[in-house]
Structure 1
Amino acid sequence: MYQIVFSDVDGTLLNDQHQMTPLTQQSIIWLHNKQIPFVIVSARSPSGIFPIMEENHFKSHLIAYSGALIMDEYRHILYEKGMKTALAMLIIQKLNAMNITWCVYSFDQWYVQNRQDEKIQREENIVKAQSQEASLDDLLSLPVVHKILCICRPNQTLIVEKQLKKDFPQLTIVKSSDILIEIMEQGINKAQAVKQLCQLWNIPIQKAVAFGDQYNDLDMLLEVGYGWAMGNAPKEIKKQVKYATLDNNHDGIHYALNNMNDEGKKI
């Protein structure tokens, strides 16, 4: 029997209306009754994750910023690793030169250049959290930066990602949607975070289930014993992952858990 379940949020746990479906809610209740931990693993900040738990009446550990910050259900920090602020400022200057909208995250604080930017307003509506406006001078006082988010136009995302990887090869840079690029400290990814929690609970990684739909989920899906790509995932991801389920609008998590036998294997 699998012993722990990890899930991405956007495009996985939530449908396209950014809501959890009733059948997905039922699956989490079932896991809780079976005393199987359910852990959210997201590029979001903690303040973008905890409302999901509150709205759907469950608590769990969480992995935020794709692994740069791990917290328990009481919001105690178990692990954190960020980039130096001076390096983050070099990235911001580069993004400004490219006219790219950016977000800077430090612990559970979210900083932007202009809250009236329609891209920022859309992001606030999705994650149900509020950003704060900050200048470069304000950001220089931060103790550490856990993530920088780039919000691009769809036709420029791959170009921006390629340029950033060229300019900052020492960092983890990954596309998380058609318009989003995540930048974290070197070595930060969902796979490493999942391994840390499994070690904390003495659970073999082979006994872990994970769900995801994007490129920043791929390392996690390949790391666990039972990695499931959502039906809405890109074909390139589905080709590499062992299992595939229905999409996020059609109860993909519920379907997958219902189609695994007691040994955790797909029927």
Structure 2
Amino acid sequence: MGNLIFSDIDGTLINSKQEVTPKTKMAIRRQIIKGNVFVPVSARMPKAIMSVVGEITKACPMVAYNGALVLDEMGHTLDSRSMPSAKAAEICTYIEHKNNGVVWNVYSGNNWYYFPGNNDQLVKNEEKIVKFRAQPSSIAEIRQLEKVHKILLMGTPDLLDATQKDLQQLYPEFYIVKSAANLLEVVVKGVSKGQGVKVIAQALGADLKECWAFGDNYNDEKMLQSVGHPVVMGNAPENLKRKFATTLDNNHDGIAAVLDKIN
């Protein structure tokens, strides 16, 4: 088996128009033809991953929800780490009581729920990006879910920084990390993209020291630390660029620039 090429999606694989450019598409396809395996690793849900990756390949293993759900190329679950729905409902209640413009979203399997009436525009913007519709819901409904893979909080960067601090004190059992300036992710402790890539490597019998990973934000850091060839995009925050090799940004085929140099 060839090596694994792990890649984040938003800000990494796709450009600011939400497209995989022809050059990046071809560079990845050339690696697949050589026998290497392309693995998207994203905070997105599985269907929203395939809405992008389906343009490159029809089937691949994937790490969804920042590592809370890991699937093989047939869509079978390799790992699933969820929080109790009662806890998710508690966090959503806390956000609603704050009533400061932060909006909650809850993800379970292939479903995306949100609270309508509070800053709906933020949800509409996310729907456009991921090409998937959220379902209006309520805290009572969230409480009834069988499992919750992820909570996503949307808001202004400053509000989310403050919310992150508050939630970390209130819920030390959760891993709370920004995936973009205006997006804050909540998953159970032990869940990370780093954990997700380890599950895939183990399932496929790959040596992570030989694998590549591309990312652009803090939720990619554990994935980048897990592989032998970590690369951050030119649009990544400065302190990530100080830690890892850096390529061109996501609007200038940063992934292709690296892959085209691999033998």
TM-score range, shorter chain: over 0.9
Match of 1:110 in 2: 112
Question: Separation in 1 of the partners of 2:3 and 2:237?
Answer: 28
Match of 1:257 among 252, 256, 259: 259
User: Match for 1:147: what amino acid?
Assistant: K
Question: Separation in 1 of the partners of 2:16 and 2:53?
Answer: 18
Secondary structure, aligned partner of 1:155? helix
Match of 2:190 among 175, 182, 187: 187
| Cα deviation, residue 203, structure 1 | 0.9
Normalising by structure 1, report the TM-score: 0.94
Matches within 5 A, 1:31-110: 31-99=31-99, 100-110=102-112
Normalising by structure 2, report the TM-score: 0.95
Does structure 2 conserve the Cα–Cα contact (< 8 Å) formed by 1:2 and 1:208?
Answer: no
Percent of pairs with identical residues? 38
* Worse-matched range after superposition: 157-166 or 1-10: 1-10
Secondary structure, aligned partner of 1:48? helix
Does structure 1 conserve the Cα–Cα contact (< 8 Å) formed by 2:70 and 2:79?
Answer: yes
CA RMSD of aligned residues (A): 1.5
Secondary structure, aligned partner of 2:144? coil
Match of 1:212 in 2: 215
| Cα deviation, residue 20, structure 1 | 0.2
Does structure 2 conserve the Cα–Cα contact (< 8 Å) formed by 1:2 and 1:207?
Answer: no
Deviations 1:133-179 (A, max 9, x none): 11111111111100000001123221111111111111110011110
Match of 1:140 among 117, 139, 143: 143
* Worse-matched range after superposition: 151-160 or 231-240: 151-160
User: Match for 2:95: what amino acid?
Assistant: L
Deviations 1:83-132 (A, max 9, x none): 01111111111111222201000111100111781001001000000111
* Worse-matched range after superposition: 48-57 or 117-126: 48-57
User: Match for 1:232: what amino acid?
Assistant: N
Match of 1:6 in 2: 6
Question: Separation in 1 of the partners of 2:48 and 2:170?
Answer: 29
Deviations 1:170-195 (A, max 9, x none): 11100111100000011000001101
Match of 1:223 among 220, 223, 226: 226
User: Match for 1:206: what amino acid?
Assistant: K
User: Match for 1:46: what amino acid?
Assistant: P
Task: In structure 2, list runs of 5 or more residues that go unmatched.
Answer: none
Question: Separation in 2 of the partners of 1:9 and 1:40?
Answer: 7
Q: Give structure 1 regions of 4+ aligned residues with deviation exceeding 4 angstroms.
A: none
1:67 to 1:213, Cα distance in 2 relative to 1, 3 A: same
Aligned positions, number = 260
| Cα deviation, residue 57, structure 1 | 4.3
| Cα deviation, residue 73, structure 1 | 2.6
